[in-house]
Amino acid sequence: MTENLAAAVRAAEQLRCAAMLANDAEALDAILDPRLHFAHATGLVDDKDAYLSKMAGGRIVYVGIDWSEEVVTELAPGVALLAGRMATDVKVEGVDKALKNRVMSVWGLTDGKWRLIAFQSTPMAG
């Protein structure tokens, strides 16, 4: 794996986080792969349309996102895994939540752009 790949995937994740914080559905739509499988820490799973709908409807409002321990692993040409810790301040259905999760996400390179294909977060104890 090259440093360029790791930097490109991290940059795509930064764009995704910025779009989530800005509640920018158009920018997020361009970053999310049509095959999106988004598994929330609660165990609920959204496809792309359901996830964007929740954001557009204000059911999920991101207030702060902080990544640490980011590791990018190339899985195949044009496919990478981004894993690490994510602390997220979010309002879900109007309820403030401070989430501390381990996260794994799969990114794919399509038409020269990295897009999020899958996301899985797991709550950390304590």
Render pLDDT for 23-56 as a digit per residue (tens, 0 to 9).
Answer: 998 999 999 999 999 999 889 999 999 999 988 8
List, in sequence order, every residue forming a beta bridge with 46; answer none if it has no partner. 38
Predicted confidence (pLDDT) at residue 1 exceeds the cutoff of 70:
no
Question: Computed over its alpha carbons, how large is the radius of gyration of the chain?
Answer: 14
- What is the residue whose two structure tokens read 């986080």? 17
Q: What are the extents of the domains in the chain?
A: 3-123
List, in sequence order, every residue forming a beta bridge with 99; answer none if it has no partner. 88
Q: Determine the pLDDT at residue 101.
A: 96
Report phi then psi at 31, rounded to 5: -90, -30
If DSSP states are collapsed to H, E and C, what string results for the chain?
CCHHHHHHHHHHHHHHHHHHHCCCHHHHHHHEEEEEEEECCCCCEECHHHHHHHHHCCCEEEEEEEEEEEEEEEEECCEEEEEEEEEEEEEECCEEEEEEEEEEEEEEEECCEEEEEEEEEEECCC
- What is the residue whose two structure tokens read 């779009």? 19
Render pLDDT for 72-106 as a digit per residue (tens, 0 to 9).
Answer: 999 999 999 999 999 999 998 899 999 999 999 99
Mean pLDDT of 55-62: 87
User: Could you tell me which CATH number the domain at 3-123 has?
Assistant: 3.10.450.50
C-alpha of 34 from chain center: 14
